[in-house]
Structures are given as structure tokens and as C-alpha cells.
Amino acid sequence: MTPQLSLAGPRLAASDGVVCQPTVGGGQAAADRGARNAVAPGDGPILEVRDLCVEFRTSKARLRVVDGVSFAIEKGKTVALVGESGSGKSVTSLAIMGLLQQPPAAVSGEIRFRDAAGRQWQFLELSDNEMRAFRGDRVSMIFQEPMTSLNPVHTVGDQISEVLLIHRRMKRAQRREAAIRMLERVGIPEAARRAEAYPHELSGGMRQRVMIGMALACEPSLLIADEPTTALDVTIQAQILNDLKSLQREMGMAMLFVTHDLGVVSEVAHSVVVMYAGQVVESGPTAEILQSPRHPYTRALLASIPRASADREQPLTAIPGTVPDLAHAPAGCRFHPRCSQAVQGRCDVQVPATESPADGRTVRCLRWREL
């Protein structure tokens, strides 16, 4: 799912990079309200998501596709959001970016963001104009499908330049220079020449690099990368992931890295949040989750990763069945129809709560201590 939306929206100046000062539309009232929505400076994570719920409402039904999701990301760290197709990863990301149209979506919970000056913002309390001033500036996203996010009728240099005009109000010559510098930073050779190219004139890998350049143009504090390399071949994928990690180190930004592939998680993430059918089923530091997964779903995901060293005669262990249709979510544990450890009369009846043993991990399974 990819929104057909501009990253930036109406022209808003970022002023001192702390309080959004709209120059057109919204006016001073919005700026004042923005200032009121920020609380005193302090330490803590760059992003804290607490009990995030997203429902899609129609006249006939309410579909809760994100259900009580919580996690936090510290400065300079990466959290991987993992799960099969349809588990709610993109909807969670779009909710954080304020990109879900409400209605039909209804978003609740808390999304707290701490800016470079240490001030905290409650994203769900900001107006659309205030959120637009954050997007593409202090908070940025690389979308799942780059071609639907790049504008085919503008050169890639102009598209990066536009982000700088909106958020930094730089002069034309400065913007051009900064756009070329950004194309160089994201690994595009002959950047000055490539800045004049249209998206269709570039390879898939180059287009994805342009998307990364647009997202990083204003050096955001938080980057959400939604399956940024899924459509690319493995060599290009590895190069882009390495470049993204270097840029993250340089800029010190926090990153939410969305993927359905647990194989790339160890390469990029400090911690992992595993989602199933809209809920977090397990979370914790990457090494621990990969070495000693506690939830049967995480174990099944890990067992389904192809390994170069594996015995060719051994079939890959696929997870039986599919992610449930949330309009008819299974009773008890949502994973029970596919779980090899399910116990009849227990797992299909009792809803597991999220447990947080005092080791920085969470798990949502009735039987995790026995398994």
C-alpha cells in the first residue's frame, strides 16, 4: 500500500528547526498550537509508540489492523519491524507519519517524538499543517514502492531541491548544489549529470537511492524505511543497506526499518519488533531474538529463511496457512491455527497477554515458558 501523497505538503518553513512556522495557510495560530503541543526538553527515545491502534471503519464493519503496538527507538539506533505480508507494518509506519486519512482510518494511542532540541511532540495531537512541517524534515519516510513516490515529470535533482525549498527555503543555486551533494552521498555516480535525469531514465537501484536522498535531504532525526530494498537484487540490496547504515551513523538518526525478511535484520537492526495480524508478538534486542526466539511465530519465521549452508535435500520449513482475515480473526491466540505448539482448549480460547520479563524483551504467547 503506497499513499499518493507529497512528503511535504504546503510550503512551511522550519524556522529554527524546532517550532513549525507556517508561511502560508495555518498562520500564527497553528504555530502557537504547535508550540503548545511540545513539552519541555528532556532525554529519552527519539520515537516512543505506545498502544497504537488503527481501525478502518466502514458503514458495515470496523477492522482493527493495528492493535496495541508499542515500541521505542533511541537516537542512532535501528528497530526492525518484521512480519508477513498483511501484518500491519506499513499501516503502523503511515500512522506514525500522519499519512492515514481519517476517516476511514481511526488512529489512537500515543506517538511521541523528541526533536533535536530535546522537545517532545505528541504527533496524534498535531494538526495536519503541523504534521506536514515535520514530514520530510525532522521525520522522513522511504516508501515501499519508489516509482509511485517519485514524480515522473520532474528531474530527480528538482525533486530533492523541492524538499529543500519547502523546509529550508534555500536559494535556487544553493538547492541545486545541495541536491547534487545529496545524490553523491547516497552513492549515485556522476551526480551532477544524473540530477538532470527523470526517474524512468534511472535503474531501480538508482531510483531507490534517489528516494533515500529525498528522505535524508533535511537530515531527519527519524527515518522510516518501508521495505526499502525488497524490489532489488541481492547485491544492490546489500550495497544500499550498507550505504544507509553509513548515512545513519553520519547523521545520528533513529531508524524504523520495515521488512518481511528476518534475514536482513541482523545486518541493520539493534532491536526487533515482530508483528502478527496487527499485534506485536515478540520484541527485544536483535541478537537475543535471533538466537533464542521465544514466540513460535518468530521461530517459524527464522526456520523459513533459506541458508546457503543448508542441506539441499532438506526442504525449507514454510509456515502452514496464511495470515488471518482480520474480519474473522481466530479466537484465543491469533496465531493458533498455524502454530505447531498450539494446545486445543487453551490456545484457541485464551487471549495471550503481552509479558515483559525483566530482560528488555516482550512476548505474547501462553506457553513461552514451557517451550
Ligand X SMILES: Nc1ncnc2c1ncn2[C@@H]1O[C@H](COP(=O)(O)OP(=O)(O)OP(=O)(O)O)[C@@H](O)[C@H]1O
Applying CB under 6 A, which residues contact ligand SF4? Answer: 296, 333, 335-336, 339, 341-342, 347, 352, 365-367
Interface with ligand X, residue 1, by CB under 6 A: yes
Least CB distance from residue 122 to ligand X, whole Å? Answer: 23
Q: Contact region for Mg ion (CB under 5 A) — 74-82, 85-93, 108-116, 295-303?
A: 85-93
Least CB distance from residue 300 to ligand X, whole Å? Answer: 16
Task: Build a one-symbol-per-residue string for 129-158: x at contacts with Mg ion by CB under 5 A, - elsewhere.
Answer: ------------------------------
Amino acid present at 127: S
Which residues does 325 contact at the CB level (< 8 Å), separation at least 6?
A: none
Interface with ligand X, residue 260, by CB under 6 A: yes
* Bond from prior residue into 103 cis (ω within 30 degrees of 0): yes
Mark 138-177 as b/e (b = at least 16 C-beta within 10 Å): bbbbbbbebeebbeeeebbbbbbbbbbbbbbeeeeeebbe
Interface with Mg ion, residue 90, by CB under 5 A: yes
Interface with ligand X, residue 65, by CB under 6 A: yes
Amino acid present at 329: A
Task: Kindly tell me which residue out of 14, 73, 80, 91 binds ligand X, with binding defined by CB under 6 A.
Answer: 91
Amino acid present at 153: V
Of 67 and 130, the one with the shorter C-beta distance to Mg ion is 67
Longest dimension (CA), the chain: 69
Pairing of strands 222-226, 254-259: parallel
Kindly state the DSSP code that residue 173 receives in the 8-state scheme. Answer: H
Amino acid present at 265: V
Q: Are 38 and 119 contacting, i.e. CB atoms less than 8 angstroms apart?
A: yes
Cell output for 283:
520484541
Tell me which residues in 114-153 interact with ligand X (CB under 6 A): 144
Going by C-alpha positions, the residue among 6, 18, 17 that lies closest to residue 149 is 6
Task: Kindly tell me which residue out of 26, 83, 284, 332 binds ligand X, with binding defined by CB under 6 A.
Answer: 83
Going by C-alpha positions, the residue among 214, 301, 255, 204 that lies closest to residue 74 is 255
Q: Are 133 and 169 contacting, i.e. CB atoms less than 8 angstroms apart?
A: no
Of 239 and 341, the one with the shorter C-beta distance to ligand SF4 is 341
**Exposure of 80 by Cβ count < 10 A (0-12 exposed, 13-18 middle, 19+ buried)?**
buried
Going by C-alpha positions, the residue among 186, 222, 181, 190 that lies closest to residue 205 is 186
Task: Kindly tell me which residue out of 78, 90, 298, 362 binds ligand X, with binding defined by CB under 6 A.
Answer: 90
Task: Kindly tell me which residue out of 11, 15, 56, 116 binds ligand X, with binding defined by CB under 6 A.
Answer: 56
Contact of residue 260 among ligand X, Mg ion, ligand SF4, none (CB under 5-8 Å per partner type): ligand X
Going by C-alpha positions, the residue among 81, 132, 89, 32 that lies closest to residue 256 is 81
Least CB distance from residue 185 to ligand SF4, whole Å? Answer: 43
Contact of residue 65 among ligand SF4, ligand X, Mg ion, none (CB under 5-8 Å per partner type): ligand X
Least CB distance from residue 63 to Mg ion, whole Å? Answer: 16
Q: Contact region for Mg ion (CB under 5 A) — 28-36, 88-96, 97-105, 147-155?
A: 88-96
Contact of residue 85 among ligand SF4, Mg ion, ligand X, none (CB under 5-8 Å per partner type): ligand X
Least CB distance from residue 264 to ligand X, whole Å? Answer: 13
Of 3 and 10, the one with the shorter C-beta distance to ligand X is 3
Least CB distance from residue 283 to Mg ion, whole Å? Answer: 18
Q: Are 142 and 268 contacting, i.e. CB atoms less than 8 angstroms apart?
A: no
Tell me which residues in 312-331 interact with ligand X (CB under 6 A): 326
**Contacting residues toward ligand X, per CB under 6 A:** 1, 56, 63, 65, 83, 85-91, 144, 260, 326
